[in-house]
Amino acid sequence: TAGTEGPAAARLGHYNAANTPAFVHSGQTVNWNDATLDGNFTGASVLSGSLIIQAAGTPPVEPEEPDDTTTVDESDINDLEDETEAVDQEVDDQIDSGNVTTETVTKTATVANKAATQTSTLVTGSTTGTISTPNTLNVLVAATGSAQTGGKVANSTTTADKTAVTASTKTIIKDTGKLLTTIADSGTTITTEQKTQVQNIIVNLAGAAKNITGGATGKVVDEEMKDDSMDEEMKKDMEAAFKAATKLKVPLSDETQTVIKEAAVSIQVAALAELTGKNSEELTQEDLQAAFNDPVTREKVLAASPTLPNANPRSEEDVTNDINNYIAQNYPQRPTGTT
């Protein structure tokens, strides 16, 4: 039967005397439009669009993203992962040797900036239109990996300026909380594979937060970081990510919860260090213990921890022990004969 787009094309909704043309051809695409249907069904309300016919058992056709969907090119994501892997190995080797070179700090800052640009692009897109869940999760896996490396460098021993790498790492952490929240609030049901991606993102995020607040070397934060109330920022950003993971029904393994707890302790000790009023190079175990023993300061420090998505919440006694152990392991004792 002659159709709307040429000989033998199917014609949706068209009755041709004895029968209605059947949709029987595998891979056939049926097009219809208002003008054609109006001519056959006078006065009827019609829809315009496309119908793709597939043979039984063939994979479903993936729907196209809406025109207002913001995505990052997959090749750019892959490049970011490759660059992060290369510079991360370089950073680890140099940390082991006792000093991270200016060249490596610059490389790390460049990679972290690329990651921050990708996450920020999606954050902007989420406010002006929509984002793609699969694409966004791919970006966050790569970007939070870069944040892990950036956090290591931000707290490494080096003579290089760490301002740029610190800023980009903080941007990635903040954007991750926002983007996971956007996905969770959209009502999207994510796949098992995507839940694994979220687990990896949370682990990377916690590791980055731990590093950037001083966990890697025992230092607290650089002076320019203290001005930004680092601990309060990290608390909010981490909580946003944790809440989103819970809403997405992502199970967190014991290992994941351990990393999260370590990040929380690091954030709390960063808050404690800030409350002492001393810079990171001067702090000793005695300074921190004296501050933590003050009831008012103690209350502030305990409140600095992000609410954790742990199956078994920590008691105050557990938190206190974790903080005391962290201080003992990461800060020097006061030299004998000094006060």
The pLDDT of residue 339 is 60
The residues that bridge with 130 in the sheet, in sequence order, are 69
Contact 111, 83 (CB under 8 A): yes
The pLDDT of residue 219 is 42
Contact 112, 172 (CB under 8 A): yes
- pLDDT tens digits for the chain (339 residues)? 444 555 555 445 544 444 444 444 444 454 544 455 555 555 555 444 555 555 556 665 555 655 689 999 999 999 999 999 999 999 999 999 999 999 999 999 999 999 999 999 999 999 999 999 999 999 999 999 999 999 999 988 889 999 999 999 999 999 999 999 999 999 989 999 999 999 999 999 999 998 888 633 334 444 444 444 666 788 889 899 999 999 999 988 888 888 888 888 988 888 898 888 887 778 899 999 999 999 999 998 988 888 777 656 778 888 899 999 999 988 889 887 666
Continuous segment of H or E residues that includes residue 32:
strand 29-32
Non-local (6+) Cβ contacts of 14 within 8 A are: 1, 3, 20, 21, 40
SS (H, E, C) 88-129: HHHHHHHHHHCCCCHHHHHHHHHHHHHHHHHHHHHHHHHHHC
Q: Got the DSSP string for 153-192?
A: HHTS--SS--HHHHHHHHHHHHHHHHHHHHHHHTT----H
CA distance 135 to 265: 32
Query: Nearest Cα to 90, choosing from 71, 77, 105?
Result: 105
The pLDDT of residue 262 is 87
Q: Is the pTM of this model over 0.85?
A: no
Query: Nearest Cα to 71, choosing from 129, 30, 16?
Result: 129
